[in-house]
Amino acid sequence: MTANTKLVAGNWKMHGRRDMAAALAQAVCAGAPAGVDAALCVPFPYLAQVGDALTNGPVALGAQDLSEQDEGAYTGEVSGGMLAEFGCRYVIVGHSERRARHAESSARVAAKAARAVACGLTPIVCVGETLQEREGGQTLDVISAQLEPVLSLGADLVAQLVIAYEPVWAIGTGRTASVAQAVEVHGAIRHALRGCAPEVADAVRLLYGGSVKPETAPGLFAGEDIDGGLIGGAALDAASFLAICRAAAAAAR
């Protein structure tokens, strides 16, 4: 990775079957362009299968969540050590669907991020506002509050994060934040990073997520402080995901 290399991570969410997972992973691995870091964050049951398909290729393996606990009596949870054993490099933490549907607090998200780093994983920490919060002019306050527990973990840990801005109102809705809206929030996140960890702030990659498509990706990736994307629906189609990866590579150049 260089400072100019963008990251495109696909979040399959709760989609997939065994045949589909293998075919999609193989197609993405075969077509991934140079000049971009790519990752697939897949459901837990497919980690081994997708990991095998990505072995020795240019695409990294990722998971969609982890426990903040190391091990123990936590039925249904998956530890960072387990993910690392399967070859994961990335793990998503704090996705809005986890925050809303599983009542995950920002403090718990920070604990998960810390656990991921302790296990040798790179956490992709998600932040974002609802439509009501945006229309109420609360966007930057919401983002700041979500980031505060994570940034308080210290510069050494912050240096190992990826942060993804995903406006909740744009996830799976077909709506995408304008480049200006995305740049404003990314700029605010970078400013917050410089305030708490100035020595590493410019190296932390900031991703945009929220209905990114091949046709919107070039404009978004050209925006200041937008270092790639966290891709949902388009990651389930190899051609679309690879087109987004090519847009990221072209923007980096």
Residue 176 pLDDT > 60: yes
Q: Is residue 150 part of a domain?
A: yes
For the CA atoms of 6, 160, 54, 207, the dihedral, rounded to the nearest 10 degrees, stands at -40
Is residue 166 among the annotated active site residues?
yes
Whose structure tokens read 């000049």?
A: 35
Annotated catalytic residue, options 68, 95, 97, 186 = 95
Residue 225 pLDDT > 70: yes
Structural domain count, the chain:
1
Domain region containing 220: 6-252
Residue 4 pLDDT > 80: no
pTM of the model: 0.96
Q: How far apart are CA 127 and CA 92, in angstroms?
A: 11
Q: Is residue 152 part of a domain?
A: yes
Q: Is residue 187 part of a domain?
A: yes
List the one residue out of 56, 49, 42 whose CA is nearest residue 10: 42
Instruction: Kindly indicate the confidence band of residue 2, based on its pLDDT and cuts at 50, 70 and 90.
Output: very low
Q: What is the DSSP track for 155-202? A: HHHHTT-EEEE--GGGSSSS----HHHHHHHHHHHHHHHHHH-TTTGG
Q: Is residue 1 part of a domain?
A: no
Q: Is residue 134 part of a domain?
A: yes
Q: Is residue 138 part of a domain?
A: yes
- The pLDDT value given to residue 113: 98
Q: Is residue 86 part of a domain?
A: yes
Residue 172 pLDDT > 90: no
- The pLDDT value given to residue 173: 82
Reported as a single tens digit per residue, the pLDDT across 13-71 is 999 999 999 999 999 999 999 999 999 999 999 999 999 999 999 999 999 999 999 99
Cβ-contact 248, 221 below 8 angstroms: yes
Reported as a single tens digit per residue, the pLDDT across 89-131 is 999 999 999 999 999 999 999 999 999 999 999 999 999 999 9
Query: CATH number, domain at 188?
Result: 3.20.20.70
- The pLDDT value given to residue 155: 95
